[in-house]
Amino acid sequence: MKQLFKACCLFIFSFLLFTSAFGQPLKQSNRFTHADTLRGTYGPGRDWWDVLKYDLHVKFNIGDSSISGYNAMQVKVLKKGTTMQVDLQEPLMIDSILYSLQAGSRGRISEQDIRKDGNAYFFPAGYFSVPHTNFPVVDIFIYYHGKPRIAHRPPWDGGVIWKKDKQKRPWVSIACQGLGASVWYPCKDHQADEPDSAEMHITVPDTLMCVGNGRYRGRIENTDGTATYDWAVINPINNYNIIPYIGKYVHFGDVYDGEKGKLTMDYWVLDYNLDKAKEQFKDAPRMMKAFEYWFGPYPFYEDGYKLVDAPHLGMEHQSAVAYGNGYQNGYMGRDLSHSGWGLKWDFIIVHESGHEWFANNITSKDIADMWIHESFTNYSETLFTDYWYGKEAGNAYVQGTRKNISNDIPIIGHYNVNQEGSGDMYYKGGNMIHMIRQVINDDEKFRQILRGLNKTFYHQTVTTKQIEAYINKQSGINFSKLFDQYLRTTQIPVLEYKINGHKLYYRYSNCVKGFNLPLKITFKTEQWIHPTEKWKSLNLYPEGDNSFTVDPNFYINTKKTE
The pLDDT tens digits for 40-55 are 999 999 999 999 999 9
Least confident of 27-36, 287-296, 389-398, 506-515: 27-36
Beta strands in 62-187 (DSSP E): 66-77, 83-87, 93-101, 106-108, 115-117, 120-124, 137-146, 159-164, 170-175
Q: Is the pLDDT of residue 488 over 60?
A: yes
| Segment 451-467 mean pLDDT | 98
More confident residue, 232 or 540: 232
| Amino acid (1-letter code) at residue 11 | F
Q: 467 with 483: CB under 8 angstroms?
A: no
CA atoms within 13 A on the CB side of 211: 27
Q: Is the pLDDT of residue 20 over 60?
A: no
Q: Is the pLDDT of residue 356 over 90?
A: yes
Q: What is the mean pLDDT of the chain?
A: 93
The per-residue pLDDT for 5 is 38
The per-residue pLDDT for 105 is 80
Predicted confidence (pLDDT) per residue in 365-397, tens digit: 999 999 999 999 999 999 999 999 999 999 999
Angstrom CA distances, 78 to 52, 106, 189, 522, stand at 12, 19, 18, 58
Q: What is the CA radius of gyration of the chain?
A: 26
Q: 560 with 549: CB under 8 angstroms?
A: no
- Which of 200, 147, 161, 87 has the alpha carbon at shortest distance from 322? 161
Q: Is the pLDDT of residue 130 over 60?
A: yes
| Amino acid (1-letter code) at residue 387 | Y
More confident residue, 559 or 503: 559
The per-residue pLDDT for 77 is 93
Where does the pLDDT of residue 103 fall: very low under 50, low under 70, confident under 90, or very high at 90 and above? low
Helices (H), 99-235: none
| Segment 239-257 mean pLDDT | 98
Range 131-145 burial, b when 16+ CB lie within 10 A, else e: eeeebebbbbbbebb
Where does the pLDDT of residue 191 fall: very low under 50, low under 70, confident under 90, or very high at 90 and above? very high
3-state DSSP: the chain helix, strand, coil percent, rounded to 5?
30, 30, 40
Where does the pLDDT of residue 524 fall: very low under 50, low under 70, confident under 90, or very high at 90 and above? confident
The per-residue pLDDT for 560 is 95
Percent of the chain with pLDDT strictly greater than 70:
93
Where does the pLDDT of residue 542 fall: very low under 50, low under 70, confident under 90, or very high at 90 and above? low
| Amino acid (1-letter code) at residue 436 | I
The per-residue pLDDT for 16 is 44
The per-residue pLDDT for 287 is 98
Q: 435 with 554: CB under 8 angstroms?
A: yes
Q: Is the pLDDT of residue 6 over 60?
A: no
Q: 228 with 202: CB under 8 angstroms?
A: yes
Structural domains in the chain, CATH included, are 47-323 (2.60.40.1730), 338-488 (1.10.390.10), 494-560 (2.60.40)
Predicted confidence (pLDDT) per residue in 469-483, tens digit: 999 999 999 999 999
Strands, sheet with 261-270, edge to edge from the N-terminal-most edge strand: 249-258, 261-270, 305-309, 321-323, 314-315
Judging by DSSP bridges, how do beta strands 503-509 and 494-500 pair with one another? antiparallel
Where does the pLDDT of residue 543 fall: very low under 50, low under 70, confident under 90, or very high at 90 and above? low
Predicted confidence (pLDDT) per residue in 278-300, tens digit: 999 999 999 999 999 999 999 99
Where does the pLDDT of residue 27 fall: very low under 50, low under 70, confident under 90, or very high at 90 and above? low
Beta strands in 125-241 (DSSP E): 137-146, 159-164, 170-175, 197-205, 209-211, 215-221, 226-233
DSSP state of 345: S
Please name the residues in contact with 547: beta carbons below 8 A apart, sequence gap of 6 or more: 522, 523
